[in-house]
């Protein structure tokens, strides 16, 4: 849908067991990732309203959309933290994109990154101890992991390409992400113990916003081809056929 000279989207929920497709929001959804609560009962998303990109919660059981009260105006890429009592997101303040979390009970916001670099695509480990995200270095994005207990950050990739949308694989020993290493965004896997990474796909259109099933056996993602984005599902692979050995980042 076109609205206010911008491109916005409607939101649907597809029930895989029944194939039922339900529209939640008609217009105004920003082209930004959304997050499911760990109990599967709520969604956190970003909508554009009154020149603000605001955070909203959608309760699937009550069919209710509710704004999260907070002061920031330019928010994106929300996701629930483990426990579902807090939401993490990216917001731009004074021209810099940083990662924050907000406590849903009282609206208290806490910065998790405050650097001169832009950060994006935050995701948490299942135990809540680690934060994985992308950070801009010299006009390209590398992956960074942060120990939230000690505050220590470790840069995981050092490439001239963009590494985006990292997601922990259950078990916390590896992650998947997308990289434009070959000029097109494809799925990659990174082993956190060895630091080695390798491609999982070779498509000609582009793969975006990967998600991993709770059992770690499946990957869902948006696939761009023939001018359209479609949702695809794939088994979790160790590497693609013909990819050869793992190559370091």
| Rounded Cα gap, residues 17 and 213, in angstroms | 15
Per-residue pLDDT of 155-187, as tens digits, reads: 999 999 999 999 999 999 999 999 999 999 999
Q: Residue 238 has which token pair? A: 């160790």
CA distances to 141, 144, 169, 181 from 217, in Å: 27, 24, 9, 25
Q: Which residues contact 192 (CB under 8 A, 6 or more apart)?
A: 145, 156, 172, 173, 174, 175
Per the CB < 8 A criterion, the answer to whether 223 and 207 are in contact is yes
Smallest Cα–Cα separation from 79: which of 31, 125, 44? Answer: 44
Task: Please check the confidence at residue 217 and state whether its pLDDT lies above 60.
Answer: yes
What is the pLDDT at residue 32? Answer: 61
pLDDT averaged over the chain?
87
**How many CB atoms neighbour CB 227 within 10 A?**
6
Domains of the chain by residue range? 115-243
Task: Please check the confidence at residue 213 and state whether its pLDDT lies above 60.
Answer: yes
Q: Count of alpha carbons within 13 Å of 7, Cβ hemisphere only?
A: 2
From 114-118, 193-197, 238-242, the region with the lowest mean pLDDT: 238-242
Confidence band of 7 (pLDDT split at 50, 70, 90) = low
* Better-scored residue on pLDDT, 57 or 23: 57
| Rounded Cα gap, residues 154 and 157, in angstroms | 9
Confidence band of 243 (pLDDT split at 50, 70, 90) = very low
* Paired strand residues for 144: 133, 155
| Rounded Cα gap, residues 172 and 23, in angstroms | 34
Kindly state which CATH superfamily the domain 115-243 is placed in: TolB, C-terminal domain (2.120.10.30)
Per-residue pLDDT of 86-136, as tens digits, reads: 999 999 999 999 999 999 999 999 999 999 999 999 999 999 999 999 999
Predicted model pTM: 0.88
Confidence band of 48 (pLDDT split at 50, 70, 90) = confident
* Better-scored residue on pLDDT, 6 or 100: 100
């Amino acid at each position: 849908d076109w609205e206010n000279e911008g491109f916005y989207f409607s939101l649907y929920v597809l029930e895989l067991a029944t194939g039922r497709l339900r529209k939640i929001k008609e217009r105004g959804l920003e082209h930004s990732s959304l997050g499911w609560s760990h109990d599967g009962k709520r969604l956190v998303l970003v909508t554009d309203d009154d020149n603000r990109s605001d955070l909203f919660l959608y309760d699937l059981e009550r069919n209710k959309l509710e704004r999260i009260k907070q002061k920031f105006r330019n928010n994106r890429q929300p996701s629930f933290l483990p426990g579902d009592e807090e939401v993490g997101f990216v917001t731009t303040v004074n021209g810099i994109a940083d990662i924050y979390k907000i406590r849903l009970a009282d609206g208290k916001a806490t910065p998790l990154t405050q650097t001169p670099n832009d950060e994006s695509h935050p995701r948490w480990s299942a135990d809540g101890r680690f934060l994985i995200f992308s950070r801009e270095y010299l006009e390209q994005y590398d992956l960074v992991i942060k120990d939230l207990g000690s505050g220590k950050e470790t840069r995981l990739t050092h490439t001239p390409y963009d590494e985006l949308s990292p997601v922990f694989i259950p078990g916390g020993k590896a992650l998947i992400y997308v990289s434009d290493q070959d000029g097109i965004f494809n799925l990659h896997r990174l082993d956190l113990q060895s630091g080695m990474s390798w491609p999982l796909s070779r498509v000609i259109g582009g793969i975006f916003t990967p998600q991993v099933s709770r059992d770690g056996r499946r990957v869902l993602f948006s696939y761009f081809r023939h001018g359209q984005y479609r949702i695809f599902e794939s088994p979790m692979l160790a590497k693609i056929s013909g990819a050869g050995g793992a190559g370091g980042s």
